[in-house]
Amino acid sequence: MIGTLSKPSGLVYSTVIVLLLIAPVVISLMEHSFYLDLLTRILILTIAVVSLNLIVGYGGMISLGHAAYLGIGAYSVGIPSYYEVFNGYIHLGLAIGGSALFALVTGIICLRTRGLYFILITLAFTQMLYYTFVSIEEYGADDGLVIYQRSEFGGLLDIENANTLYYAVLVVLLLSLYLMHRLIHARYGKVLFGSKHNDERMQSLGYNTYQYKLSCYVISGTLCGIAGFFLGNFTNYISPEMMDWTHSGELIFMMVIGGTGAVLGPVLGTATFLFLEEFLSSITVYWHLIFGLLLIALVMFGKGGLHGLLSRMDRRWEKSQ
Amino acid sequence: MMLEVKGLHKQFGGIHASRDINLVVEKHGVHAIIGPNGAGKTTLIAQLSGALKPDAGRLRFDNTDITHMSRHRRAHAGLVRSFQITSIILPMSVLENVMLAVQSTEGHSYRFWAPVSQDAELKEKAMQSLSEVGLGNRADQMAGEISHGEQRQLEIAMALALKPKLLLLDEPMAGMSKEESANMIELLKQLKGETTILLVEHDMDAVFSLADTTSVLVNGHIIATGSTDEIRNNAEVQKAYLGD
Tell me how many domains chain A contains: 1
Mean pLDDT of A265-269: 95
pLDDT-derived band at B177, boundaries 50, 70, 90 = confident
Distance from CA of B130 to the nearest CA of A (A): 16
Query: From the centroid of its chain, how far is CA B110?
Result: 28
Across the interface, whether the CB atoms of A206 and B162 are under 8 A apart is answered yes
Number of A/B CB contacts below 8 angstroms equals 92
Specify if A246 maps to a domain: yes
Mean pLDDT of A228-249: 96
Task: Count how many Cα atoms sit within 13 Å of the Cα of residue B123 in the half-sphere of its side chain.
Answer: 9
pLDDT-derived band at B160, boundaries 50, 70, 90 = very high
Say whether pLDDT at B14 is over 90: no
pLDDT-derived band at A3, boundaries 50, 70, 90 = low
Closest-approach residue (CA) in chain A for B91 = A197
Task: Give the whole-number percent of chain A exceeding pLDDT 90.
Answer: 84
Closest-approach residue (CA) in chain B for A186 = B115
CATH of the domain at A293: 1.10.3470
Say whether pLDDT at A277 is over 90: yes
Specify if A151 maps to a domain: yes
Mean pLDDT of A62-77: 97
Across the interface, whether the CB atoms of B110 and A188 are under 8 A apart is answered yes
Give the integer Cα–Cα distance in Å for B192 and B198.
10
Closest-approach residue (CA) in chain A for B76 = A206
Average pLDDT over chain A, rounded to whole?
A: 93
Across the interface, whether the CB atoms of A191 and B100 are under 8 A apart is answered yes
User: In this predicted structure, what is the pLDDT of residue B9?
Assistant: 95
Say whether pLDDT at A312 is over 70: yes
Nearest to A201 among B89, B110, B111 (CB): B89
Mean pLDDT of A228-252: 96
Span B54-95, pLDDT tens digits: 999 999 999 999 999 999 999 999 999 988 888 999 999 999
User: A65: domain range?
Assistant: 8-320
User: In this predicted structure, what is the pLDDT of residue A1?
Assistant: 53
Of A11-20, A252-261, B44-53, B224-233, the one with minimum mean pLDDT is B224-233
Domains of chain B plus CATH, in order, are 1-78+164-244 (3.40.50.300), 89-163 (no CATH)
Span A179-205, pLDDT tens digits: 999 999 999 999 999 999 999 999 999
Say whether pLDDT at B198 is over 90: yes
Which chain B residues are Cβ-neighbours of A208 within 8 angstroms? Answer: 70, 72
Query: How large is the ipTM?
Result: 0.90
Specify if A2 maps to a domain: no
Q: Is A248 on the interface with B (CB under 8 A)?
A: no
Nearest to B100 among A194, A200, A212 (CB): A194
User: In this predicted structure, what is the pLDDT of residue B241?
Assistant: 66
Specify if A1 maps to a domain: no
Distance from CA of B10 to the nearest CA of A (A): 20
Across the interface, whether the CB atoms of A205 and B100 are under 8 A apart is answered yes
Mean pLDDT of A249-263: 94
Task: Give the whole-number percent of chain A exceeding pLDDT 70.
Answer: 99
pLDDT-derived band at B244, boundaries 50, 70, 90 = very low
Say whether pLDDT at A78 is over 70: yes
Mean pLDDT of B182-200: 91
pLDDT-derived band at B243, boundaries 50, 70, 90 = low
User: In this predicted structure, what is the pLDDT of residue B240?
Assistant: 72
Average pLDDT over chain B, rounded to whole?
A: 91
Span A32-68, pLDDT tens digits: 788 999 999 999 999 999 999 999 999 999 999 999 9
Say whether pLDDT at A2 is over 60: no
User: In this predicted structure, what is the pLDDT of residue B39?
Assistant: 87
User: In this predicted structure, what is the pLDDT of residue B242?
Assistant: 58
Mean pLDDT of B110-124: 94
Give the integer Cα–Cα distance in Å for B237 and B191.
28
